[in-house]
Amino acid sequence: MTRADAAPQAAGPRTVPPWMIMALACACQFMVILDSSIVNLALPAIRDELGFTPTGLAWVVNGYLLTFAGFMLLGGRAADLFGPRRMLVAGLLVFSASSLVGGLAAAPQVLVAARVAQGVGAAMMAPATLAVINTSFTEPNARAKVFGAWSAAGGVGGMTGAIAGGAITTGLSWRWVFLINVPIGAALIVVAMMALTGARTARRESLDLAGAVTGTAGLAALIYGLMQSADHGWTSAPVIGPVAAALVLLVVFTVVEARLAGRPMMPLRLFRLRGVAVGNGMLLLFGAIPIAMWYFTSLFLQNVLGHSALQAGLGQTPAAVTFLVVARWAAPLLPRTGVRPLVLAGSACLLAGFGWLAQAHAGSGYLTGVLGPTLLVATGIGLTFPTLMAAATADVAGGDAGIVGGLANTASQVGGSVGLAVLATVAGIEASSQAGGSSSPAALAAGYDLVFLVAAGLGLAIAVVSLLLPRHRRD
């Protein structure tokens, strides 16, 4: 193995080693995904201390997810105009400051506002990290390795949140779920200032405010409306109203972006690139798969098999480790095999794993009912996610790297938000139709099993869509 093969090589002269840039991008992605899951196990303690109502408590989670997905495209375009270094540092500042406010919050409104601000900071950070990767690592093999590490960091962040949330809440306080971000964020700001250049676009342009308002509001309204479906039903006013408003706003957004003479927030010309169009389509389908994997298997372990929250998190650890290993070692194969073979292999693992998981019931054991199939699913996610991210962001000029990274993240997040709303509704309807009632372990198991079957279908759909990719692609 040569020295060039041993570590990813950054483009251009650098005063810092490439591994530092890779570590910075991975650490930021870890923080962003960690905070989407770490708060879940702390919710009962937060409710008791701050006096949240059941409806208000949901906004501790939804406030972060809404702004994270809704502001992603704006964050991507800002990274292109002002430079990924500036946006990454600004995002870290917003994220860390809002984490401090959340950790010290004495009222429900303050904590929800802090979570909303955290989502804005995350929406600035996530596309900036992809822009850093795209502009710093130009050699295909090196970029594939970094994408694998970046994807694995996100997966480990989600899994760590499931375990650390319960441990921190039990051993310290729910406030440290937020306060722990402050010293980490400060350290990452220092690293970003040292490792990244301050380069920005040479064009003197302003942000596309009309596109930012209509696109962000449209996505936020769509996600908000779909989130209400689990509680109110698909035909209720809290669902139909926001979804209808979202459709109008997104149509207006498309018209604005098509007619804008300057630099739109989301240049529609990018969708002429088959990798961008097909890659984002697959990411939309893929977004629900991690939800089915981590969220619903955690519920199955707790509500059907009777495990505690901490035991459920530990029970998912082997799958998290499998994902980490597969994502890290599969990424270097991408320049040799191309996108389609890895996607097809990953989809086969998803189809088999979720099909096996759908056979689990209240009498199943952990080893055969959960561990085996989740290892297969984790393998499929590890093969698929970094490959889809690479496909959706390839062949893009440096000036569009941020917006394409934001678009890819948005597709994945919107797919996850839509998936959560749809899968939760599917699980609830199926559980209610069972003879034992919607809260019995057998009824809940039937609902979760239907979710796993839907997820298997999504894996098959990704394989079909991947056939639209060019056969000759290798980077």
Q: How sure is the predictor about 201, in pLDDT bands with cuts at 50, 70 and 90?
A: very low
pLDDT of residue 5: 41
Domain containing 81: what range?
A: 15-199
If asked whether residues 407 and 282 sit together in one domain, one would say yes
Q: Which residues contact 28 (CB under 8 A, 6 or more apart)?
A: 88, 91, 92, 125, 126, 128, 129, 188
Instruction: Give the mean model confidence (pLDDT) for residues 379-404.
Output: 75
Determine the Cα–Cα distance for residues 73 and 30; give it in Å rounded to an integer: 20
pLDDT at residue 11 greater than cutoff 50: no
pLDDT at residue 436 greater than cutoff 60: no
Determine the Cα–Cα distance for residues 432 and 444; give it in Å rounded to an integer: 8
Of the two residues 378 and 438, the one the predictor is more confident about is: 378
If asked whether residues 299 and 443 sit together in one domain, one would say yes
Of the two residues 260 and 224, the one the predictor is more confident about is: 224
If asked whether residues 392 and 424 sit together in one domain, one would say yes
Q: How many domains does the chain have?
A: 3
Q: Give the pair of three-digit tokens for residue 382.
A: 């590890």
Determine the Cα–Cα distance for residues 130 and 77; give it in Å rounded to an integer: 12
If asked whether residues 141 and 108 sit together in one domain, one would say yes
If asked whether residues 393 and 447 sit together in one domain, one would say yes
Asked if residue 8 is part of any domain, the answer here is: no
Q: Mean pLDDT, the chain, as a whole number?
A: 78
Q: How sure is the predictor about 173, in pLDDT bands with cuts at 50, 70 and 90?
A: confident
Nearest residue to 328 via CA among 158, 164, 145: 145
If asked whether residues 294 and 408 sit together in one domain, one would say yes
Instruction: Give the mean model confidence (pLDDT) for residues 172-186.
Output: 88
Q: What pTM value is reported for the model?
A: 0.71
pLDDT of residue 357: 92
Nearest residue to 162 via CA among 317, 51, 23: 317
If asked whether residues 241 and 326 sit together in one domain, one would say no
pLDDT of residue 4: 40
Of the two residues 209 and 343, the one the predictor is more confident about is: 343
If asked whether residues 21 and 81 sit together in one domain, one would say yes
pLDDT of residue 145: 74
For residue 437, give the DSSP letter: -
Asked if residue 439 is part of any domain, the answer here is: yes
Q: Give pLDDT tens digits for 55-100.
A: 567 678 777 877 787 777 777 778 777 878 888 899 999 999 999 9
pLDDT at residue 353 greater than cutoff 90: yes
Determine the Cα–Cα distance for residues 193 and 176; give it in Å rounded to an integer: 26
If asked whether residues 346 and 453 sit together in one domain, one would say yes
In this structure, the dihedral spanned by the alpha carbons of residues 142, 143, 145 and 149, taken in order and rounded to 10 degrees, is 140
Nearest residue to 96 via CA among 76, 75, 124: 124
Q: What single-letter amino acid sits at 337?
A: T
Of the two residues 93 and 365, the one the predictor is more confident about is: 93
Q: How sure is the predictor about 473, in pLDDT bands with cuts at 50, 70 and 90?
A: very low
pLDDT of residue 36: 73
Least-confidence region, from 79-93, 291-305, 348-362 = 291-305
Asked if residue 9 is part of any domain, the answer here is: no
Least-confidence region, from 65-69, 209-213, 226-230 = 226-230
Instruction: Give the mean model confidence (pLDDT) for residues 298-303.
Output: 79
pLDDT of residue 369: 87
Of the two residues 475 and 62, the one the predictor is more confident about is: 62
Nearest residue to 300 via CA among 446, 178, 182, 461: 446
Of the two residues 386 and 179, the one the predictor is more confident about is: 179
pLDDT at residue 424 greater than cutoff 70: yes
Q: Which residues contact 40 (CB under 8 A, 6 or more apart)?
A: 61, 161, 162, 165
In this structure, the dihedral spanned by the alpha carbons of residues 280, 343, 385 and 197, taken in order and rounded to 10 degrees, is -70
Length of the chain in residues, anyone? 475
Instruction: Give the mean model confidence (pLDDT) for residues 107-131.
Output: 87
pLDDT of residue 475: 43
Instruction: Give the mean model confidence (pLDDT) for residues 107-129.
Output: 88
If asked whether residues 259 and 281 sit together in one domain, one would say no
pLDDT of residue 162: 67
Asked if residue 6 is part of any domain, the answer here is: no
Angle among Cα 392, 338, 320 to the nearest 5 degrees reads 70
- Return the percentage of the chain with pLDDT > 90, whole number: 13
Asked if residue 399 is part of any domain, the answer here is: yes
If asked whether residues 97 and 240 sit together in one domain, one would say no
Q: Give the pair of three-digit tokens for residue 134.
A: 């795209």
If asked whether residues 317 and 389 sit together in one domain, one would say yes
Determine the Cα–Cα distance for residues 357 and 50; give it in Å rounded to an integer: 38
Q: How sure is the predictor about 318, in pLDDT bands with cuts at 50, 70 and 90?
A: confident
pLDDT at residue 246 greater than cutoff 80: yes
Determine the Cα–Cα distance for residues 137 and 305; give it in Å rounded to an integer: 46
pLDDT at residue 205 greater than cutoff 70: no
pLDDT of residue 13: 41
Q: How sure is the predictor about 376, in pLDDT bands with cuts at 50, 70 and 90?
A: very high
Asked if residue 73 is part of any domain, the answer here is: yes
Q: How sure is the predictor about 198, in pLDDT bands with cuts at 50, 70 and 90?
A: low
Asked if residue 243 is part of any domain, the answer here is: yes
Q: How sure is the predictor about 408, in pLDDT bands with cuts at 50, 70 and 90?
A: confident
Least-confidence region, from 7-16, 194-203, 395-404 = 7-16
Asked if residue 4 is part of any domain, the answer here is: no
> What CATH number has the domain bearing residue 438?
1.20.1250.20
Q: How sure is the predictor about 355, in pLDDT bands with cuts at 50, 70 and 90?
A: very high
